[in-house]
Structures are given as C-alpha cells and as structure tokens.
Amino acid sequence: MRLFRSGCLVRTTHLILTWVTTLILFLHNTDLRKCEERGELLQPVLFFIVVLLSVLMYFTVSLMDPGFVLSDSDTQPSLEDDELEEMIPNSDVSQRQRRCGYCFLLQPMRARHCKECKQCVRRYDHHCPWIENCVGERNHRWFLLYLCVQLLAVSWGLQTAWSGITLVSSWREWLIQNCFLLGALGVTGVFSVVVVLLLCIHLYLAAVNTTTWEFMSRHRISYLKTCDSEENPFDRGLICNLWDFFCVCQTVAWERVYSRRSNSAV
C-alpha cells in the first residue's frame, strides 16, 4: 500500500501536528475550553468535526489516484462525443501524442511524467510534497476542496489559540504560561498563510483552465509554445471552466479540445 511507502513519514507528521495542536486548544483556557465549562458543546463539537474532516480530506487526496497513465489504452478518452469524433480526424489526435521518455507509454496531451511517483499523470498540475502525491486530473478538484476545509480548520484554530493567550506581570512567566499556545499559534498562523496562497492560486488556475506546470513552463511545452503569450487553447470562459473543473468527473480528450480550438481560430 502507498500509505507505507516514502510518504508515510510526511502523513504521520501531518497527523501528529493536527491532533497535538487540537489537543492544546482544548486543554488550555481558550474559547473552546470556556464553552465546554459552560456546557455549550456546539462550538467544540463543530470544531472537532472540521478538524476530522480536514484529516479525512487530506488522506483522500494523498492516497487517491491522481490520474496515472497505466497503459497505452489509457490515452483513449472515456468521454463519448460522436459529433466531435467525426469532426476531428484520428490522425490529428495521434500526431499530438508522444511516448514518454521514462515509462515509454503514449502520453496524452497535458500529461507529464512525475519523477517522484515514476508515472505519467493526466492533466498534471504538480507533485505536492506535503501530501506526497501528484495533483492531476482525478484529484485536483479534491485538492482544492481540501484546501478550503483546511483553511477553515487552521483559521479557526488560529483564532482559538489567540483567545487563550493570557497576560502576566513578567515576560518569563508569560512565555512559560503560554508556550504551548504560542506553538499552536505559530503552526496555525504559518499554515493559514500557506493555505490562503495555495487556495488563491488554484482557484485562479481552475478559473482559466490551466495548470501549475503549464503556467510555469509554458515556453517549454510543445502545444503551448506556438500560442500567443496570453492565449490558452483550453479556456472556455469562467463559468464553463469552473463547471468542468468541479462537475465533470470523466476523462477529457484534451487533444480534441485543442484541435477544435485551433481549427476555429483558423
């Protein structure tokens, strides 16, 4: 199982940080602890559910198939579109496919070989070291949803940690009394900034139907080098892009989308 490979240490670290921080927030004199003492359990229970959901989403994104290309047959799209099939000749599709120099499989358009995972990934976005998995066509939407849940958890944790900081007469006593809360404040603060940045970036990428790899390496990608600097052959407009990103769960034939856009531009 992939859980017990190289990513085991990263996932264990994430799990320990999450639950140790949560335990600190419940044991110290924070808003959560005060609600418990008053018998108002709604807020503590909701916070625990959000943290648990973030952990479950983390492992879902971390362990799921991001869209690995396992054989040459995987390059054939599962999305049925007879009209588009007739409009785009098969020869035009095959000309845009090439064999990967590492795994020697036919590589669909927008796919890339990940050296860490040692496999090609459909609609490759990036390899995330924090989840120790690639972000690709099958798990990109789940990665973005995970960021949303994680942002809610860490921002709520940040506010809770701040609520437990107490003032005392000397700096030494203040540090001793608040050292664990300061650690929780640091962890949630750093993660809040990182998650906000990642969430903004990936919402933008989803809105324009591009990937981190395409955005950063446009000049090295064969199907984008011939396009203008501001042109994206896969962009269908904000609404359609977001609908496709969040609601279309089938494999997309990007060669056909690219060819149709190129033909209409001519």
Tokens of 247: 């609601």
Q: What is the structure's pLDDT at 89?
A: 42
Tokens of 49: 């559910």
d(CA 193, CA 195): 6
Run means of pLDDT, 10 residues per run, the chain, 266 residues: 63 94 94 92 96 97 93 60 40 59 89 92 95 95 97 96 87 87 95 97 96 92 82 91 90 80 58
Three-point CA angle 219, 220, 224, nearest 5°: 65
Q: What is the structure's pLDDT at 87?
A: 38
Cβ neighbours for 150, distance < 8 A, ≥ 6 positions apart: 54, 57, 58, 191, 195
Q: What is the structure's pLDDT at 188?
A: 96
Q: What is the structure's pLDDT at 75?
A: 67
Question: Can you state the angle between helices 8-27 and 140-163, rounded to 10 degrees?
Answer: 30
Q: What's the pTM value of the predicted model, to 2 decimals?
A: 0.86
d(CA 213, CA 143): 16
Q: Which of 8, 128, 148, 179 is catalytic?
A: 128
d(CA 31, CA 58): 26
Q: Which long-range contacts (CB under 8 A, 24 or more apart) does 99-107 make?
A: 100/69, 103/69, 105/69, 105/70, 105/71, 105/72, 105/74, 105/75, 106/69, 106/72, 106/75, 107/69, 107/75
Phi, psi values for residue 240, rounded to 5°: -65, -40
Q: What is the structure's pLDDT at 78?
A: 47
Q: What is the structure's pLDDT at 4?
A: 45
> Does residue 128 have an active-site annotation?
yes
Cβ neighbours for 263, distance < 8 A, ≥ 6 positions apart: none
Q: Tens digit of pLDDT for each residue in 157-211?
A: 999 999 998 887 788 888 888 899 999 999 999 999 999 999 999 999 999 999 9
Q: What is the structure's pLDDT at 125?
A: 97
